[in-house]
Amino acid sequence: MRALLTRAVIASLAITSLIVGGQGSAAADMVCQQTDPATGQCLIWVEVPGTPGTPGDPGGGGPKGTGPGASCYWDPAKQGLSQPPAGPVPCTSEFGYWSNTYNCYIKAMDPQPPADDPAWQGHDPGDGAVYTCYQPQTGIIINLWAQDPPPNSGIGPTPQQVAQIAIDSMRLSAINIGIAPEPGPNSIGLVGMPVWMWANNPDNHTYGPATASASAGGIRVTATARVEQITWDMGDGSEVVCRTPGTPYKPSFGNRRSPDCGHIYDKSSAHEPGGQYVVTATSDWVITWSGAGQTGTIRLNGLSRSVAITVGEAQVLVE
């Protein structure tokens, strides 16, 4: 007697999915809507309301997404101070609107000072205007001249939006799939035998940690991204959630199970389209950001990549 295996051709499948940013609600979840088919990188950022969740652990544990943060903040370091500590402030008050650039509330003087007032700094009345700059944190109030009204930080980006700029520069992408049996016409798995899955050659773009900074609207934010988990859709209705990159398979491991990320099929892929199981690995990232005296978390879910594998049954042929 001899064992005969079903033979099928493996077809690699294109990547699907990924995301982008904008203003949104607290506890926002970042979902990947579009990827570059060649690289798996996130192309667009969109913030979608909802509660964080993953295919294998919907709405479960792990850090939740936070709100956008306040776009107006007090920064004592701009004046060489340490107190009061940096943090958000109301964007408007009886003293005017807040300017992150000047670190104070801005209000045009009414009436404007006389022409010989030093606050004009040598300019003629009508050439720009004189404003009051008031810091309730220190009690300091000064007059300043400006050609144009100082920027109103209340209409600028939030720290989370600046963090999204930093995230965009990280070029985060789906993992490169490592799997045994390998995709390809010469590699066929067997029902009941262990399948190993792993992130192949993970780096800061595919697994993290990746760190980047960005500035906009007088706000500077640093963001750090890490993969929290990878959900493997095995194509047979099963999902495997792995919180590590997985362990690459070696022939010396024989028929042992993966110590951290594996699966066993209980039926062959012969009944599937093309006679193959489509295996999809979806990365769920957690990004923490800090800046403008605030901190926050962004969930980036949905970076995916797929491959197809063949799983056959050992058949006995009696001669």
Give pLDDT tens digits for 211-247. 999 999 889 999 999 999 999 999 999 999 999 999 9
Same domain, 116 and 35: no
Q: How many domains does the chain have?
A: 2
What is the arithmetic mean of pLDDT over 147-160?
Answer: 93
Q: Please check whether residues 259 and 146 belong to one and the same domain.
A: no
User: Is the predicted pLDDT of residue 55 greater than 60, yes or no?
Assistant: no
Mean per-residue pLDDT for 192-213? 97
Query: Given a cut of 80, is residue 11 above it in pLDDT?
Result: no
Which range (49-58, 216-225, 304-313) has the least confidence? 49-58
pLDDT bracket for residue 134 (50, 70, 90): very high
Pair of tokens at residue 79: 């004046």
Q: Do residues 142 and 282 both lie within one domain?
A: no
Q: Are residues 123 and 92 in the same domain?
A: yes
- CA-nearest of 172, 131, 138, 137 to 30 is 172
For residue 61, what pLDDT is reported?
Answer: 59
Q: How many helices (H) and strands (E) does the chain have?
A: 1, 20
Question: Domain containing 138: what range?
Answer: 73-155
Query: What is the reported pLDDT for 40?
Result: 53
How far apart are alpha carbons 60 and 85 in whole angstroms?
34
More confident residue, 65 or 224: 224
For all residues of the chain together, what is the average pLDDT?
Answer: 82
